[in-house]
Amino acid sequence: MKRNQLFIALVAASISVSSYAQTVDEIVEKHVAAMGGLDKLNAVSTLVTERSLAVQGMEIPTKTTLVVGKSLRSESTVMGNSMVQVVADSKGWMIRPTMMGGTGEPEDMPADQLKQQTSQLDPFGGLVNYKDKGNTVELIGKEKQDKRDVYHLKVTSKDGQVIDEFLDANTYLLSKVKANMNGQDGEINFSEYKDYEGIKFASSMDITNPQMGVMTFITNKVTINSKIDDAVFKKPVK
């Protein structure tokens, strides 16, 4: 009898380990499906996103123009001053108004900031096509977030960057990300997803880090696969 019990326990343990090993891919597959499906996500070549940022009592309009995997331009208007950040051809430049410590003229982007901005060339995150990207994903476990069950996944990119991603256990959409932001730990909370041409985008993003406190981005419009002039990514000549 004891031998039978031992055998059953070993088989159960083996099945448990096997199913746990498959759980990561099952969760990622459901996440991709919830976002709109792999075919739709892979078909996106450009994105133009218009948001408003609420910070310190101000509303700051922000427009992000993205050629997936290639180029990114983010432009905000702060008290009548334009702030621009651009990544293209593995290089970055920016324009900072004098009120933010800049000169109002184009300048090269610091390496650490460029690295962070480059990660935004992938609009759907490290879980989508994670194996093809050379990322590894580890399931940390199932946790509670604001009384909801979430799956905690640790995503490590091929260059060693680590991001903790939390997926809602009911919708499988991203609810929170924890990552290093300009040398400090920060997090982004995602909520109020809306459908744009069959793809889900979070309408609200709360970004928290020790340096800036809490900033809330509200997505007002998303345009998919519009034609973009490469000239918007070129650094102006002084």
Query: Are 175 and 166 spatial neighbours (Cβ–Cβ below 8 Å)?
Result: yes
Furthest C-alpha separation in the chain: 85
Assigned CATH for 2-70+122-228: 2.50.20
Per-residue pLDDT of the chain (238 residues; tens, 9 = 90+): 445 554 444 444 444 444 443 489 999 999 999 999 999 999 999 999 999 987 777 788 999 999 999 999 999 988 888 899 999 988 999 999 887 777 889 999 998 888 888 888 999 999 999 999 999 999 999 999 988 999 999 999 988 889 999 999 999 999 999 987 767 788 999 999 999 999 999 999 998 876 667 888 999 999 999 999 999 999 988 6
Pull the structure tokens for residue 30: 């459901």
DSSP E strands in the chain: the ranges are 46-55, 58-67, 71-78, 81-88, 91-95, 106-108, 136-145, 148-156, 162-168, 174-181, 184-196, 199-209, 213-224
DSSP per-residue string spanning 63-95: EEEEETTTEEEEEEEETTEEEEEEEETTEEEEE
Residue 127 pLDDT: 96
Residue 41 pLDDT: 97
DSSP E strands in 102-170: the ranges are 106-108, 136-145, 148-156, 162-168
> Which residues are paired to 28 by β-bridges?
none
Residue 101 pLDDT: 76
